[in-house]
Amino acid sequence: MSRFKPFRSVLYAALCLLGLGSASATPINLVANPSFESPPHAGITVRYDTPGVPTGFFWTVGGAGVDLVETRWTAQDGLQSLDLNQDTHLASLLTPPGSVSQSLATVAGTSYLVSFWMASNPDTSESPRDGPATKTMDVGFDSILHSYSFDVTGHTLADPGWIQQQLIVTATGANTILSFVSTSSGYAGMIIDNVSVTALPEPSTFAMLLAGIGLLGFAARGWTRKETA
């Protein structure tokens, strides 16, 4: 019998006790329509203004509007993603930036992992109307959490160059506004997909896990000595 087998059994039991080894511990994403797949859109893009967002989108649109994009470029997840700048097709104007936001049910004092994928609209076919090469946006969790930029240079419609960003933040109230706000102009803005906000375990849970791992370390050494004696 492998000497590691008992160790695995005890580790599994410990994880189950901590709620980490069961399906019920799967983190719950607080974001509605997190991948922008709703409503499904059979076309290149559809412009969303504020007001006028269809049922099932769940995000509030601000600024100069956004574009829900299906076939124009490859989404990071599923079929659709979101351009934070709307293409208004006004040939002589740089489109002002847009935004989306959503109110999340949070618990004051609880820490959350905010995760999303970002790139920029790689369509530069109508330069300079697409705006600057480097697009920018602010991500907020009530107040601004972080500002991001993305240089479209070298990226294509087939591969926009999606990258994942993650932040840890602590909620201060029962409702928190998650927001993605473009801060660059032009019909091509920052694009986002696959957003999630999940509660992190309480610090006491981490302490229990660390204590459990410490005990398992002693147990494993005991088994090793017994089998090699």
E-strand spans in the chain?
Answer: 45-48, 60-63, 66-69, 81-83, 98-105, 111-120, 134-141, 143-151, 163-170, 175-182, 190-199
Of 32-40, 42-50, 63-71, 175-183, the window that binds Ca ion (rule: CB under 5 A) is 32-40
Q: How far apart are CA 181 and CA 174, in angstroms?
A: 22
Question: Contact with Ca ion (CB under 5 A): which of 30, 53, 61, 75?
Answer: 75
Q: Is 191 in the site for Ca ion (CB under 5 A)?
A: no
Using CB under 5 A as the binding rule, the residues of this chain from 91 to 150 that contact Ca ion are: none
**Burial of 21 by CB count in 10 Å (0-12 exposed, 13-18 middle, 19+ buried)?**
middle
Provide the minimum distance between the beta carbon of 117 and Ca ion in the complex, in angstroms, as a whole number: 9
Q: How far apart are CA 97 and CA 90, in angstroms?
A: 14
Nearer to Ca ion, 39 or 212 (CB): 39
Nearer to Ca ion, 112 or 116 (CB): 116
Return the SS3 of 88. coil
Cβ–Cβ under 8 Å, residues 163 and 110: no
**Token pair in block for residue 65:** 């509007």
Nearer to Ca ion, 74 or 111 (CB): 74
Of 3-11, 28-36, 94-102, 118-126, the window that binds Ca ion (rule: CB under 5 A) is 28-36
Give the binding-site size for Ca ion (rule: CB under 5 A): 7
Of 126-134, 162-170, 191-199, 210-218, the window that binds Ca ion (rule: CB under 5 A) is 191-199
Question: Contact with Ca ion (CB under 5 A): which of 34, 35, 66, 185?
Answer: 35
Residues that bind Ca ion (CB under 5 A): 35-36, 75, 77-78, 80, 193
